[in-house]
């Protein structure tokens, strides 16, 4: 899986010590969608932003679903491994360390799958409105990887029980999970941006 197999954008780092970010858009987004968010939460970071390769009614996604909230789990696994190969190739090509995934909705779900299926690909993750991606995930060893999970209290797509289950699943796999439920729906808010910025600043400080 080469870097050219995903349509993508790459913005090189402009500040030393800022962790590279893997930006993963939601349904109907593209490789440009989260560049502004990445710049807001971690100014100066290298940004790697692929476009999902699955189309649903013409809208890009990172994997197939059978209905809203019902995933084609065989496709989730296959697409997560493809994405992991793309990231590995892009790391070599651009000379970056393992990125922190910043995923929204469908992008957050593929990031969670990547954590469970190929833990070495990411150094951590910010999961915005994520769901459990696999009903029977493999046993992953996340060895303290930092994960920020931001859920919406009034999210019509992600039930509170599901996001709580994802937090527990990642914690049981060894991740250092911070889970916050915000007074919000499925869309992102300024609070999401502020929390993500503070969290990634702490992660970068601890890694320095």
Point out the residues that are catalytic: 105, 155, 186
Alpha-carbon distance of 152 to 158, in angstroms, equals 8
Regarding beta strands 100-104 and 146-152, do their DSSP bridges make them parallel or antiparallel, or are they unpaired?
A: unpaired
Are residues 164 and 196 in contact, defined by beta-carbon separation less than 8 angstroms?
no
Length of the chain: 208
């Amino acid at each position: 899986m080469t870097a050219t197999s995903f349509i993508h954008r790459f913005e090189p780092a402009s500040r030393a010590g800022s962790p590279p970010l893997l930006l993963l858009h939601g349904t109907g987004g593209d490789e440009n969608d989260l560049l502004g968010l990445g710049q807001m939460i971690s100014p100066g970071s290298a940004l790697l932003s692929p476009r999902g390769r699955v189309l649903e009614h013409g809208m890009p996604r990172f994997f197939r679903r059978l209905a809203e909230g019902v995933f084609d789990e065989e496709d989730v696994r296959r697409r997560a491994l493809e994405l992991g190969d793309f990231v590995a190739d892009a790391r070599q090509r651009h000379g970056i360390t393992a990125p922190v995934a910043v995923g929204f909705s469908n992008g957050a779900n593929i990031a969670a799958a990547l954590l469970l299926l190929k833990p070495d690909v990411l150094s951590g993750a910010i999961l915005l409105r994520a769901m459990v991606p696999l009903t029977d995930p493999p046993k992953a060893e996340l060895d303290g990887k930092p994960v920020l999970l931001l859920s919406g209290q009034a999210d019509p797509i992600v039930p509170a029980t599901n996001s709580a289950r994802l937090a527990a699943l990642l914690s049981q796999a060894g991740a250092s999970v911070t889970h916050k439920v915000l007074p919000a729906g499925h869309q992102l808010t300024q609070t999401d941006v502020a929390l993500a910025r503070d969290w990634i600043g702490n992660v970068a400080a601890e890694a320095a």
